[in-house]
Structure 1
Amino acid sequence: MPEIAVKPINDDLEHPEEILLRELCGILHTYLDETQVNEVVRAYHYSAKAHLGQFRKSGEAYICHPVSVAITLAKMRMDAHGIMAALLHDVIEDTPISKQELSDQFSSEVAELVDGVTKLTRIDSRSRAEAQAENVRKMFLAMAKDLRVIIVKLADRLHNMQTMGNMPSEKKRRIAKETIEIYAPIANRLGMNDIRHQLESLGFKALYPNRYTVINNAVKKSRGNRKEIIDTIQNTIQTRLKDTGLECTVAGREKNIASIYHKMLIKKISFTDVFDVYAFRIYCQKVDDCYRALGCVHNLYKPIPGRFKDYIALPKANGYQSLHTILIGPYGMPIEIQIRTHEMHRMSESGIAAHWLYKSDKDKSETIQARVNEWLRDLLEIQKSAGDSLEFIDNLKVDLFPQEVFVFTPKGKIIKLPRGASIVDFAYMVHTDVGNSCISARIDKKMVPLQTKLENGMCIDVTTAAWARPNPLWLNYVITAKARSCIRAHLKNFKQQEAITLGRRLLEAELETINLQLDDIDNSRILQVLQLLKKHSLADLLEDIGLGNKMPFLVAKYIAQTDPNSAAKLNDRDPSSSGKPLIIKGTEGIVVNLAKCCRPIPGDPIIGFFNPGKGIVVHRHECCNSNDARKKQTSWLDVEWSSEATGEYSAEIRIELHNQRGSLATIASTISSMESNIENINVVSQDSRVSVDLLTLAVRDRSHLANIIRKLKKLNIVLKITRIKA
């Protein structure tokens, strides 16, 4: 296709899309060859034809949007295929053209990029939140194959945010919220600070228009008063650097409105306190110059202790490098200074886009690429174990807002973690298997609990064991997305296996009453039952029984119906009675639960009740809830404690005692002397004479509890003591 001539034309006579195309071609000619520019123009004409007759809310032709997105990417010096994908990014979604047609017309590379940016369509019976979550999940999978997908998507979102003027306010707020929560943090994670700041500002403006206006007016009002002070400080720093023989550029830096508001909100300070901080950047030629410049400014103004950060030696996860320091300037004003090389500044503004933008800086772009790829690998692992798209989005949000700490493995490797991360987070960051099997840890050679929060510079040594498994309680204190998703995935799988084992025991107990063995039943009979109950496999059926979704008596009945003799025996039997009670130890875990209303312990007469989706809940016979359960004949079963039941179980007692100084201490020491522990104390009522308390104790069995109660009754301060029944 012939080249589009770039010549002066009266813009008033041209269509807006033609003006935009000329601008695009003008930028492309600065870094692409003629053939590539012609391919881009061909993609433009193909897209324009596909979108013919489509218009945006503003009334302009729809093709203006993809061309504007392409211009943003051209300014980043995106390669030709990336620009073509930007021009075609809405073709699959909004026109009848398919991915295969794009592949035939251009290339499979361009088609894959367009498909990655395209939203999922025809999502049936889902909420908007689920649909949006699924779109983001799909985008990340495409992004893992080719990072240009997310760069095109960010440019697309930026132009959408810039042109939201004609949208309904509710839709504006929804898009702005998604931009602030997902897309701006992704841009930050990829090191694309220029795009991030624009997305944050536009998102804040759409989400909080009044707050934006108030802060914007306050900034304009204060700007005049600040100019003289900024110029004075800037000239002073520049002069000191020049006298030292450093060739550096000093520039004032103004915070954007979104970051001013965020700082006011987080630190609970007024606009004046935020805007009184004067910010500067110093751009140097070499890394050595950055540290020399730091010495100069620390000589010039006093640094605030603990407010210096070296992101050159320890870059952020997105590859960002700079020295940060805060000084006390003239009149006691705080001065924020960032010191970096010109190359670091380019990387800071463009991030992963620098992979295409600055081909000469191979080492730097490859480092950023490696960091992003490592992040994407973790995300892919998270998405594989996430239950659904909403869970993936929750994990993603956790991952997108890190304030990092740097810790060390025993071999000296640096591991980056979000602030507030625990040892379990560290273990999963080292490797999934290390996290799954960790049992203890040492920090700087001292034993510490696994929930210990990490701080900069710690050296962590994790001990693992082959038999160890993740603990559900870890979910209360892990904060990294990888740790949470790995623990959830393991627990989900563990619950499934446990439910299958329990389901087999329950079904075999029922079949035994009619002289049948599950292993002896023909496959054809099992297949008939699976077909009837719409199950894919015997494991699925057993899992459903173990989780209480299918009653074992009814499944046994279906199996028996395939044999008339067995069916007759089963029909004669009372469905609420089994040949043998189910033996439990009380430590089965997820699918056999001890009821918290009556807290059964070994030695108590007990009954099991099926709780759909959760398994069996074990109650004491005396519990009022067990009486309700018995009315549903097929929902309960006889259970019995195993003679091998070991461990500690919770039991609750009600105790009335004289309200005098030291009475609770006496109770506690007595309980401790009986080899028990108080898990919880709740004061029910109290006056000047009597205190009524509920105590939850950890006991081995019924005999252990009886001995504790006898011992307590002998105390003079105890008036009455009883065990809570329900």
Structure 2
Amino acid sequence: MLPGPVRELRDLLNTYLEPQQVAVVLRAYEAGAVAHEGQKRRSGEDYIFHPVAVARILAGMRMDYQTIAAAILHDTIEDTHLEHADLERDFDEQIAKLVDGVTKLDKMKFRTRQEADAESFRKLLLAMSRDLRVIFIKLADRLHNMRTIEVMSPGARRRISAETLQIYTSIAGRLGMNELREELEELGFRHLHPNRYRVIRRRVRKNAGNRAEIIDSVTEALKKRLSEAGIPARVEGRTKTTYSIYCKMRDKSLSFDEVMDLYAFRIVTHSEPHCYQALGVAHALYKPKPGSFKDYIALPKPNGYQSLHTVLGSPFDVPVEIQIRTEEMDLVAEKGAAAHWLYKATPDGSTAVRAREWLLKLVETQSRAGDSVEFLDAAKAELFPDEIFVFTPRGKIIDLKADATALDFAYAIHTDVGNEAVGAIIDKEKLPLNTRLETGQTVEILTEPGSAPEPEWLEFVVTSKARTSIRSHLKNLEQADSVAVGDRLLDQALARRGYSMERVSDRRLARYLKKLGLDRIEDLLIRIARGDMLAGVVAQKLLPLTQRRQTEGPATETLTIGGTEGSAIDYANCCHPVPGDPIMGYLSPGKGIVIHRQRCRNVPELRKAHFERCLDVAWAPVMRGQFSVRLKIVTINGPGVLASVSATLSEVGANIERVEQPSTTRETAILHFTLGVRDRNQLARIIRRLRRNRHVLKVVREIA
């Protein structure tokens, strides 16, 4: 005999599926029950009742039998002995693919929990782009998990709830699954911020009185007046959810009492004239609140949303918000976070088709992401729908995310425009690239050939295209730097053996690369630059057999450092070398060449234990960039001393990167400054000026 939950599922399915389709679902239950036999949830109940509950949620949406069957089997590949081939054999290919699409990647090995979650989400989005039913199952799975989350630890509840609010509610909104979205929001809010939830919930109950009575009364009053006026319309009423009230309080910095529209009603009519007529009826029924009326029909929101908004008083001493729109406007507005996405879509496209187009666009946009975590960050950004609309000088509209900058605009125009951007003209005013844009502005990007993205740009761009393009450029630049350094090291190693790269045959090089599992010589040079392989060992392998016994000649060439090598060269934090200091290089595995001062106390040990990794290096005649150096400054302990020392440093052009004050006495204070300087000569001038400061007792350059 079937358990109660399964009988309920069967009876619901019988109301809209064919008997043979219901039979497939029951067969899926039997297979799942056997596969999950002995497995328990944290609550103590048999595990099989979780997938059955997920299937029940989907049956309430009247999903097809393949989706229902896949929901019952959705954890079998991950948690039982069943495999994809078993499901394909016993059911069909579609059901097996749906189960595989939902399956998480917990069995794979990842470096971090964040990486595992990100890779699972990447797979989920890719599966969604092929079959939307995957996300329907995943959303129902998440909803049941949230309904039963009380058995989890507090930390797990917070983590899962945060993920639910960040990711799954937004996807549900994009797909127009508003009822499911609202329940996920309420459950997520309740478990992520339990105290805030309880306080707002208690205030809502206290202020609202009998909510059902209020909603029914206002709804009936509106229906009656509209009918008397001959306006065809349907009226819907509901309370604002706890989460929506919290968001309005948080986003607009309002107190609970300042959040006016606790009750919301929607009037949906047949035409625009009916909307304005219905507005007159509503205003005649209840007194409108001054300044609350907004006409988004005559002046649509930038994302295409259209509706009339007004806030009215009521006989129950609680304000009510009225939204009035046509059926066509409601079709767009009801899709929640997808309003602009639907507005731009073709009128005859189904929700499923438009959803798939959005997903494919998202996957394509993020295909350049370097790893799963980067993909997850960018995908999260894409899921939040707030947008602004700005104009090019020729009048073309560019839609961007809220808080987008001029640099985001540049990358929206073209990747090359973003990469070479140096400034912007916004409404005829020249402004920096990090300027936040507002709807309606006209933006022109100033470019300069040869300019390139900087790491600091990642701190203020908000669009995924800009972020991905900048990261891609920086990554390519980093590789180019490493290739150049590796090439110089290998050339020197070959020269010391009386050989050169030009004399290495293509066949010998290809054979060596294949042995290492590398596709290109650039990959080999990057390994050398990062210290994963020694240039001397590689050079020896590339020599002809007749010359391999030849001993290495003296190191006649020194590696020159110009300050332009980027991430291929690192400067040791233990001694902070600056141009002009006698230096040496150490080839650190996985890190590259690390430059040390020869007086650094770590150098003798490096030369003793890793002589083969130590390099002769020297500064180039002309250096570029700034270099960090640490100074220990002993001062008189008194008011205004730090300001006086900082002013002295500013006068000589020193860039203060960090200040620490580890200890003080009644008479003295010790300050540790990390400064950015050009070279040793500038450092000497800085020290001389500091010693002339009347508050300074002693200045010492710190060396490990």
Q: What TM-score range do you get, normalising by the shorter chain?
A: 0.7 to 0.9
* 2:362 alignment counterpart: 378
SS of corresponding position for 2:209: helix
Matched, 1:282 2:266: yes
- What is the aligned counterpart of 1:191 among 176, 194, 210? 176
* 1:148 alignment counterpart: 133
Counterparts of 1:14 and 1:721, CA distance in 2: 83
- What is the aligned counterpart of 2:28 among 40, 44, 47? 47
Counterparts of 2:74 and 2:298, CA distance in 1: 36
Q: 1:284 to 1:616 in 2, by over 3 A?
A: same
* 2:15 alignment counterpart: 26
Counterparts of 1:666 and 1:220, CA distance in 2: 59
The farther-off stretch of 187-196 and 241-250 is: 241-250
Q: 1:211-290, aligned counterparts within 5 Å?
A: 216=201, 219-224=204-209, 247-248=232-233, 251-260=236-245, 273=257, 277-286=261-270, 288=272, 289-290=274-275
Offset, 1:427: 2.9
Counterparts of 1:253 and 1:504, CA distance in 2: 69
Q: 1:689 to 1:421 in 2, by over 3 A?
A: farther
Counterparts of 2:187 and 2:640, CA distance in 1: 64
Q: Deviations over 1:430-466 (max 9, x none)?
A: 4444433433222123221111122232222223455
Contact 2:657–2:676 (Cα < 8 Å) also in 1: no
Offset, 1:543: 1.1
* 1:521 alignment counterpart: 504
Counterparts of 2:113 and 2:632, CA distance in 1: 50
Matched, 1:470 2:484: no
Counterparts of 2:93 and 2:438, CA distance in 1: 47
Counterparts of 1:103 and 1:692, CA distance in 2: 72
Counterparts of 2:302 and 2:22, CA distance in 1: 40
The farther-off stretch of 210-219 and 543-552 is: 210-219
Offset, 1:340: 3.6
Contact 2:5–2:52 (Cα < 8 Å) also in 1: no
Q: 1:618 to 1:65 in 2, by over 3 A?
A: closer
Q: 1:48 to 1:509 in 2, by over 3 A?
A: same
Matched, 1:179 2:198: no
Matched, 1:459 2:448: no
SS of corresponding position for 1:51: helix
Contact 2:309–2:324 (Cα < 8 Å) also in 1: yes
Q: 1:629 to 1:332 in 2, by over 3 A?
A: farther
Q: 1:360-379, aligned counterparts within 5 Å?
A: 363=347, 365-366=349-350, 369-370=353-354, 373-374=357-358, 376-379=360-363
SS of corresponding position for 2:347: helix
Offset, 1:542: 1.8
Q: Deviations over 1:227-273 (max 9, x none)?
A: 78778877887788789875555554313334445556667777x53
Q: 1:553 to 1:126 in 2, by over 3 A?
A: closer
Q: Deviations over 1:143-187 (max 9, x none)?
A: 122323212322333344445677788766665454334322221
Counterparts of 1:167 and 1:678, CA distance in 2: 50
Question: What amino acid is aligned across from residue 280 of structure 1 in structure 2?
Answer: A
Q: 1:469 to 1:49 in 2, by over 3 A?
A: same
SS of corresponding position for 1:406: strand
Counterparts of 1:625 and 1:22, CA distance in 2: 76
- What is the aligned counterpart of 2:529 among 537, 546, 549? 546
Q: 1:607 to 1:168 in 2, by over 3 A?
A: closer
* 2:551 alignment counterpart: 569
SS of corresponding position for 1:474: helix
* 2:589 alignment counterpart: 612
* 1:7 alignment counterpart: none
Q: Deviations over 1:582-623 (max 9, x none)?
A: 012112211113445655444443322333323223234344
Counterparts of 2:675 and 2:79, CA distance in 1: 64
Contact 1:352–1:369 (Cα < 8 Å) also in 2: no
Offset, 1:26: 1.1
Q: What percent identity do the matched residue pairs reach? A: 40
Counterparts of 1:130 and 1:508, CA distance in 2: 39
Q: Deviations over 1:488-515 (max 9, x none)?
A: 2332232223212211211211221121
CA RMSD of aligned residues (A): 5.0
Contact 2:579–2:619 (Cα < 8 Å) also in 1: yes
* 1:8 alignment counterpart: none
- What is the aligned counterpart of 2:615 among 626, 637, 640? 637
Counterparts of 1:38 and 1:232, CA distance in 2: 43
Counterparts of 1:156 and 1:325, CA distance in 2: 38
The farther-off stretch of 174-183 and 658-667 is: 658-667
Q: Deviations over 1:291-342 (max 9, x none)?
A: 66568878943445899878983365xx876555667889997654444444
Contact 1:43–1:87 (Cα < 8 Å) also in 2: no
Q: 1:613 to 1:261 in 2, by over 3 A?
A: same
Question: What amino acid is aligned across from residue 198 of structure 1 in structure 2?
Answer: E
Gaps in structure 2 of 5+ consecutive residues: none
SS of corresponding position for 1:583: strand
Counterparts of 2:82 and 2:467, CA distance in 1: 41
The farther-off stretch of 144-153 and 527-536 is: 527-536
Contact 2:407–2:434 (Cα < 8 Å) also in 1: yes
Counterparts of 2:674 and 2:337, CA distance in 1: 56
Contact 1:24–1:70 (Cα < 8 Å) also in 2: no
Question: What amino acid is aligned across from residue 314 of structure 1 in structure 2?
Answer: K
Q: 1:275-314, aligned counterparts within 5 Å?
A: 277-286=261-270, 288=272, 289-290=274-275, 300-304=287-291, 313-314=300-301
Question: What amino acid is aligned across from residue 590 of structure 1 in structure 2?
Answer: S
- What is the aligned counterpart of 2:489 among 475, 485, 506? 506
Question: What amino acid is aligned across from residue 393 of structure 2 in structure 1?
Answer: P
Offset, 1:541: 2.7
Contact 1:263–1:274 (Cα < 8 Å) also in 2: no
Counterparts of 1:79 and 1:181, CA distance in 2: 28
SS of corresponding position for 1:498: helix
Q: Deviations over 1:339-388 (max 9, x none)?
A: 4444554665567999xxx9xx971755885476245423443254232x
Contact 1:310–1:324 (Cα < 8 Å) also in 2: no
Q: 1:520 to 1:217 in 2, by over 3 A?
A: same
Counterparts of 2:264 and 2:82, CA distance in 1: 51
Contact 1:428–1:483 (Cα < 8 Å) also in 2: yes
Q: 1:553-632, aligned counterparts within 5 Å?
A: 553-559=536-542, 563=545, 565-570=547-552, 578-595=555-572, 598-626=575-603, 629-631=606-608, 632=610
* 1:32 alignment counterpart: none
TM-score w.r.t. length of structure 1: 0.76
Q: 1:234 to 1:23 in 2, by over 3 A?
A: closer
TM-score w.r.t. length of structure 2: 0.78
Q: 1:199 to 1:596 in 2, by over 3 A?
A: same
Q: Deviations over 1:4-45 (max 9, x none)?
A: xxxxxxxx99854244223223135xxxxxxxx356335324
Counterparts of 1:596 and 1:151, CA distance in 2: 52
SS of corresponding position for 2:593: strand
Offset, 1:394: 3.3
Contact 1:312–1:323 (Cα < 8 Å) also in 2: no
**Aligned pairs, number:** 687
The farther-off stretch of 97-106 and 132-141 is: 97-106
Contact 2:390–2:440 (Cα < 8 Å) also in 1: yes
Contact 1:76–1:350 (Cα < 8 Å) also in 2: no
Counterparts of 1:587 and 1:554, CA distance in 2: 27
Gaps in structure 1 of 5+ consecutive residues: 1-11, 29-36
Q: 1:546 to 1:203 in 2, by over 3 A?
A: same
Q: 1:448 to 1:348 in 2, by over 3 A?
A: same
Matched, 1:158 2:135: no
* 1:493 alignment counterpart: 476
Contact 2:21–2:65 (Cα < 8 Å) also in 1: yes
Offset, 1:681: 7.9
